[in-house]
Amino acid sequence: MTGRDQQMRISEEARSRVLRAAAELRYRPNLMARGLRTAVTRTIALVTDSIASEIYAGGLVYGSLTAAAAREHLLFVAESAHDAALESSLIEGLLDRRVDGFLYATLHTRDVELPEALAGQRVVTVNCRATDGSVPSVVPDEEGAGRSAGRVLLDAGHREGVFLVGEPAEHLFAGRERLRGLVAELAAGGTQLAGRVDCSWWPEPAFAAISAWLDTGVRPSALVCLNDRVALGAYQALAEHGLRVPADVSVVSFDDSELASWLRPSLTSVALPHQALAERGVALLLDGQRDPVEHRVPMPLRLRPSVAAPRPA
């Protein structure tokens, strides 16, 4: 018997009868009532802007679910669709259910102002950072990703004619960090970017910008595209100008979406570690670390046939 059984003076025979009856009736303890008594509900919440409905970032939801389950917690998932009023309402509903903590996540890496409803709650931001630096954050190591892209081109022998494609605007965390890492790695290899082709991060504008650029007669050795959608536009523009990947032009990209493996030749890309981000976030939330520190998760390089040695001069 447990100490509690002894204190209540329950005989072994009575205890066995109670357990048999509970099994026959499929009795389950009221966890909500237990949570009211212990202040622990063994539930956490993932509050997102648009991740739950975005297949591309599904690893973040999956990683949250599995990491929570491994710690015997259930996960509520709430998506605001960028509606501040809805977000506030969702959080209030989760607070009513006395969740033990919150993961606050965004589809695109950025700085965020946490909703007022989360003030004083246990929170970890995932794929974003609180502007006031008040809570732990987990973000991808985008600067390291830029270094990886530079290194794969240097290892293939590219020293000249390396161009960046996309808009590395200062307000875009991923573009800014990827460019910083790329420039640093090329400098460490004794070279630098030959230039940039600015365009938004979608296939159509990338195709238009690169086509117009190639019309001027420039012939790059390698293109570093700021995401896989840009790389798709680059592939199409190169093909229309009679240039082959990678025989004439090597291409490396970021995100490692499904598009990267669908392209022909398949695309070398540095992966966004959505599942690992979520797993780290859950660990920080439930394993006791409360310091408002930024944690950077490595982005793995997926090496595929889109990179080769430079064409002979």
Domain spans in the chain, listed from the N-terminal domain onward: 1-37, 38-139+274-296, 142-272
pLDDT of residue 2 exceeding 70, the answer is no
Residues making up the chain, counted from first to last: 313
Architecture of domain 38-139+274-296: 3-Layer(aba) Sandwich (3.40)
Q: Do domains 38-139+274-296 and 142-272 have the same CATH topology?
A: yes
* Pairing assessment for the beta strands 301-302 and 268-271 based on DSSP bridges: antiparallel
Confidence of residue 1 (pLDDT cuts 50, 70, 90): very low
Q: 59-92 burial by CB neighbour count: b if 16+ within 10 A, else e?
A: bbbebbbebbeeeebebbbbbbeeeeeebeebbe
pLDDT of residue 4 exceeding 70, the answer is no
CA 29 to chain centre: 36
Could you give the CA distance from residue 34 to residue 121 in angstroms, rounded to a whole number? 20
Give the chain's mean pLDDT.
88
Instruction: Return the DSSP state at 220.
Output: -
Could you give the CA distance from residue 248 to residue 246 in angstroms, rounded to a whole number? 6
What percent of the chain is modeled with pLDDT above 70?
A: 87
pLDDT digits (tens, 9 = 90+) for 173-202: 899 999 999 999 999 999 999 999 999 999
Please give the model's pTM, rounded to 2 decimal places.
Answer: 0.82
Confidence of residue 106 (pLDDT cuts 50, 70, 90): very high
Phi, psi at 41, each rounded to 5°: -105, -10
Higher-pLDDT residue of 247, 172: 247
Architecture of domain 142-272: 3-Layer(aba) Sandwich (3.40)
pLDDT of residue 7 exceeding 60, the answer is no
